Amino acid sequence: MSLDTKAFLESIKQAKEKSKKRKFSQSIELIVNLRDIDMKKPESKIQERIELPHAVGKQIKICVFASGELALKAKRAGADLVMDRGELQSLAGDKKRRKALSQAYDFFIAEAPFMPLIGKILGSALGPKGRMPAPVPLSANIAEHIKKYRKTVMVRLRGQPVLQCRVGTDEMPEEQVVENIRAVLSRLEGRLKRGFRNVESIYVKTTMGPSVRIKVR
């Protein structure tokens, strides 16, 4: 498969042109249809956190479970929510709050000693969504972790042989969107048994617009 930059740029431009103007910035989404994938096999279930070259425009919301100095550093680094052990334990008997938390944040980071408690209290809420926290040591540079996750997307393959993720917005330079797409496809190539031979087709679309196929050879 030939991933021609010109073809990517042309498809992104078409997707933006075919989408009605909105009063808000629309996301640009990448859709990859796969072939010759046996979805019944465990190895076919892809779940990848991919750090992109450029932030996708939408504010990625990050929750950090930490205490003491690490919690203070997380707050200074701009974490959207920092929960200590007591606040985490308060969720144990509140299924509604656990569900709301799992839906409100894109990524979770946790001080390593918190992980057993998180598994017990939030495992059923975060696990199925692929959002269990990334554990970090007490000495972690939490600001760098938060910065990394601001540019990260989750790519999951479940049930159907289709992958979809946000790769930018309609206000971003199109060249940056292309670089983000390449980062996703590069990781995907490494995860698929036959690489790009397992890719049937690739599309881009805006949030409210129609899909436009990227012409690849």
pLDDT band of 184, cuts 50, 70, 90: very high
Q: What is the pLDDT of the chain when averaged over all its residues?
A: 91
Closest CA to 67 of 91, 84, 49, 89: 84
What token pair was written down for 32? 């990859």
Give the pLDDT of residue 179: 95
Q: Which amino acid is at 95?
A: K
pLDDT band of 106, cuts 50, 70, 90: very high
pLDDT in tens, 7-25: 899 999 999 988 877 777 8
Give the pLDDT of residue 151: 92
Q: Residue 176 to residues 9, 57, 105, 135: CA-CA distances in angstroms? A: 10, 11, 25, 30
Mean pLDDT value of segment 156-160 = 82
- With a pLDDT cut of 70, the percent of the chain lying above it is 98
Query: Domains, the chain, ranges and CATH?
Result: 5-57+151-213 (3.30.190.20), 62-149 (3.40.50.790)
pLDDT at 3 over 70: no
- With a pLDDT cut of 90, the percent of the chain lying above it is 69
Composition of the chain by helix, strand, coil, percent to 5: 40, 25, 35
Q: How far apart are CA 24 and CA 58, in angstroms?
A: 11
Q: How far apart are CA 199 and CA 192, in angstroms?
A: 9
pLDDT in tens, 48-72: 899 999 988 767 899 999 999 999 9
Give the pLDDT of residue 1: 56
The three-state secondary structure class of 106 is: coil
